[in-house]
Structure 1
């Protein structure tokens, strides 16, 4: 048990470091090939923060632990809104860009409802393909809108990537090291998580919803906290919404693509409703009761408290179950 716990913590630390290194390296390589910073931000960096979830869910599904994969996707979305945005709003009230309220946030709510509807008869191969097609459409839509805004002066395309100033040999080296670190840490994380679940007598779904989901959300937490400290609070909200979209379309589709099968009843009665409720709360807070386009500290406290209550609900179900 202690050995598995140490491996779990070490793999999470390695995963955070490797994800950061891989994203920076891939972004620098893309820039060297003449790809704009805008496109890198919308694709490489945006998807990069969800790479830990993708790898963990892929390996878990491949090894027959589809519950861990589903729990990782939904648990990460719940953690992103409840834990990350809740904590960030307590530090500083979060603002919304108008287009985030009118486009990305409603799209996240619709996608969440779609995934909920697909789960009732289990995750099939066709469900996974539908979500994967949705992922391609989402990325295409992001890039197209981003290019339009760039032409209109909506984006600054001059930001530098941390590894860009180094030689390309070093950039490739760090990128490969980051990718290997992600693969190794994901493998260790799944192995340790399944062992802990077996020793505690709980399902891999519960481990995926709690420990694994919190761990794989660390890149989003780091990115959002850094944005808030730099007073770029709209980026913190945008990062979470984008990450949740990737989790639903890229991560949640993997069990259907790799290991189709039924979805645990508690996912339909507990986890999906909580994720939908928090997404709806984010939508309501964005439009605001008194001031539109922001999440104040009281609303942040509500999100954080909701996340704590959800974790207690999951913990209580493992005891009674």
Structure 2
């Protein structure tokens, strides 16, 4: 029964996120908000909503192993599987100049989180993401969103969308509310059923968060990026992953640790190091040839990313 509830919860999460993104994006278009801002904020926040719901609920219930594992697992899944599968289905053309700062932000906040999480390992206290750390992460999140908005204003888009005039705001608001409800209820169901499955199989909370929950909550990112690549919208595919990874750390762990300080298991140090390693690998692959203005992620590189994820999954299961 718990497995059925887990599936139902994931369906509610994914469809809820889908409704929220569609509704919010339409409202933004009606209000004349630039597409770049919509993509980097609303779409990324929308596809990260399942992670936010599950991690927040887990934190309230004191199941912080799921919260921290969910974020780490989701970011690893996004980096390797979402981009990997996207580039397997179609060559993923990346324009280097627009994404340099986003890659830098992603790497820096991952390193900051590592320092916050392993104060004890670094000889500066306990391995806890405290409420103070959570506040710092939320301040960085607000600063990042402000940076995006300011950058958009400094580089205004010239775009006339005739469809915007025909958008009715009220139905889109209702769709957004329904989406949020699906995310909240779906998140509650996933947390409860995943915990019961973990106990019945003798699995730890952090393993469930790193695998089952992380993969399930990352499905919106996977679907969004795959569809974007097939439609030749490569910037959306990459921006969705980078934006989601950034908000997963800054917003989700900021909110979760603000509610309830997160005790970090020493074994998660390897998962952090792996995430930092694959982020550096991605940066190296994309920016290795400085003379070229574009990088094409090929099918071979996509297969490499997916293979790395499979190897990582086998490792954490055996570790448990």
Q: What TM-score does the superposition give when structure 1 sets the normalisation length?
A: 0.90
1:168-317 to 2 correspondence within 5 Å?
A: 168-268=169-269, 270-288=270-288, 293-317=295-319
Deviations 1:89-144 (A, max 9, x none): 11122222222442111121111111111111221111111111110011011111
Task: Return closer, same or farther for 1:55/1:310 CA change in 2, 3 Å cut-off.
Answer: same
Paired residues, number: 310
Q: Supply the RMSD in Å over aligned alpha carbons.
A: 2.1
1:289 Cα offset (Å)? 5.7
In the TM superposition, 1:28-43 aligns within 5 A as 28-33=26-31, 35-43=33-41
- State how far apart, in whole Å, the 2-side matches of 1:105 and 1:160 are: 33
1:166-214 CA-partner distances (Å, limit 9, x unpaired) = 6444323322221111111011011111111111111111111001111
CA contact (8 A) 1:94 1:234 kept: no
Contact 1:285 1:294 in 2 (8 A): no
Change (3 A) 1:231 1:32: closer
* Equivalent pair of 1:100/1:238 in contact (CA under 8 Å): no
SS at match of 1:294: strand
The reply to whether residue 146 of structure 1 matches residue 152 of structure 2 is yes
Residue by residue over 1:226-252, the C-alpha shift from the partner in whole angstroms, topping out at 9 and shown as x without a partner, is 111012223211211111111111112
Q: Give, in whole Å, the separation in 1 of the partners of 2:246 and 2:226.
A: 19
TM-score of the two chains, using structure 2 as the length reference: 0.90
* Structure 2: gaps (5+ residues): 120-127
Distance 2:230 2:194 in 1: 32
Describe the shift of the 1:234–1:168 C-alpha distance in structure 2 as closer, same or farther (beyond 3 A): closer
Residue aligned with 1:246, SS: helix
Could you say which residue in structure 2 is the equivalent of 1:55?
A: 53
Give the 3-state SS of the residue equivalent to 1:95 in structure 2: strand
**Structure 1 gaps, min length 5:** none
Q: Is the contact between residue 228 and residue 236 of structure 1 (CA under 8 Å) also seen in structure 2?
A: yes
User: What is the match of residue 128 of structure 1?
Assistant: 134
